[in-house]
Amino acid sequence: MNPEASELQRLQRNLTQVKDRIQTACAASHRHGNSVALLAVSKTFPAHDVALMAQAGQTDFGENYVQEGIEKIASLKQQGLSGLTWHFIGPLQSNKTRPVAENFDWVHTVDREKIAQRLAEQRPAGLAPLNICLQVKLSTEESKSGAAPQDVEALAALVASLPQLKLRGLMTLPEPGKEAEEFEQLKALFDKMKSNYPGMDTLSMGMSADLETAIAHGSTCVRIGSALFGART
Ligand SMILES: *Cc1c(COP(=O)(O)O)cnc(C)c1O
């Protein structure tokens, strides 16, 4: 078999395995198998791997780094691959918001008003509103970004008031060892906010190592990198 075909087979196999894990986790929680979206995190992997994963049927891709992400999006468009949905899932500095507003469909990491305001101002008028998840910091780790839980309501009110943005939900990155506890807290906050913001339909939590825990606690979107593309170097 040529290397191209075997690489496609490897990615197809990984995709099937991850989808099986999602189905099994949904069944264990008596949830519908289609209630959890799969976001393929392609950071550090070349555009070519994204093209093969798209060929295997995957449509949603997540990127962490602005420059790497926009280069990949441009390269795939150039190859004629349209119809993919791009999610920005990395920390976002305010001087890097423009390329994100111009090239991505979703941002999962909005954690302060300045970022929301800039994304709204910079979203091109001809594009659909940018879908937004607010990143919530539940852990006490210094290194993690995210809005403090008590600030999330005010941030949600701002995002909901900006027509270029569409408030879709909440996201978190748990502290290792505290996944279940923090996923449960995020789900509780999500349920509480949904009555004020009925458009909120996305609870973005769970990665390769903890997708089962996340689904047990109500995740509607798992962000999976290494289990799909392989170990990152
Ligand atoms: C890298 C990354 C992921 C994917 O992590 P894996 O463990 O490779 O599945 C998910 N979410 C965010 C925010 C990431 O940075």
Assessment of whether the complete model's pTM goes beyond 0.95? yes
Residue 28 forms part of a structural domain:
yes
- Indicate if ligand 1 lies below 6 Å from the C-beta of 224: yes
Nearest Cα residue to atom 6 of ligand 1: 225
Ligand 1 centroid distance, CA of 207 (Å): 6
Residue 3 has pLDDT above 90, yes or no: no
Q: 89, 141, 143, 232: which to mutate for ligand 1, most atoms within 8 A of CB?
A: 89
Number of domains in the chain: 1
Residue 27 forms part of a structural domain:
yes
Nearest Cα residue to atom 10 of ligand 1: 223
pLDDT category, 141, cuts 50, 70, 90? confident
Residue 141 forms part of a structural domain:
yes
Q: Which tokens is 157 given? A: 């009110």
Residue 58 forms part of a structural domain:
yes
Residue 70 forms part of a structural domain:
yes
Mean pLDDT of the chain: 96
pLDDT category, 82, cuts 50, 70, 90? confident
Backbone angles phi, psi at 164, to 5 degrees: -80, -10
The three state secondary structure string of the chain is: CCHHHHHHHHHHHHHHHHHHHHHHHHHHCCCCHHHCEEEEECCCCCHHHHHHHHHCCCCEEEECCHHHHHHHHHHHHHCCCCCCEEEECCCCCHHHHHHHHHHCCEEEEECCHHHHHHHHHHCCCCCCCEEEEEEECCCCCCCCCCECHHHHHHHHHHHHHCCCEEEEEEECCCCCCCHHHHHHHHHHHHHHHHCCCCCCCEEECCCCCCHHHHHHCCCCEEEECHHHHCCCC
Ligand 1 centroid distance, CA of 215 (Å): 16
Residues 133/169, Cβ–Cβ less than 8 Å: yes
Strands 202-204 and 60-63 turn out to be: unpaired
Residues 6+ apart with CB under 8 A from 75: 47
Residue 75 forms part of a structural domain:
yes
pLDDT at 209: 97
Residue 233 forms part of a structural domain:
no
Q: 92, 207, 221, 232: which to mutate for ligand 1, most atoms within 8 A of CB?
A: 207
For position 29, which CATH number holds?
3.20.20.10
pLDDT at 22: 98
pLDDT tens string 119-128: 999 999 999 9
pLDDT tens string 84-105: 999 999 999 999 999 999 999 9
Residue 177 forms part of a structural domain:
yes
Q: 109-120 burial string, b = 16+ CB within 10 Å, else e?
A: bbbbeebbbbbb
pLDDT at 86: 98
Which residues form the domain of 68? Answer: 3-228
Nearest Cα residue to atom 5 of ligand 1: 225
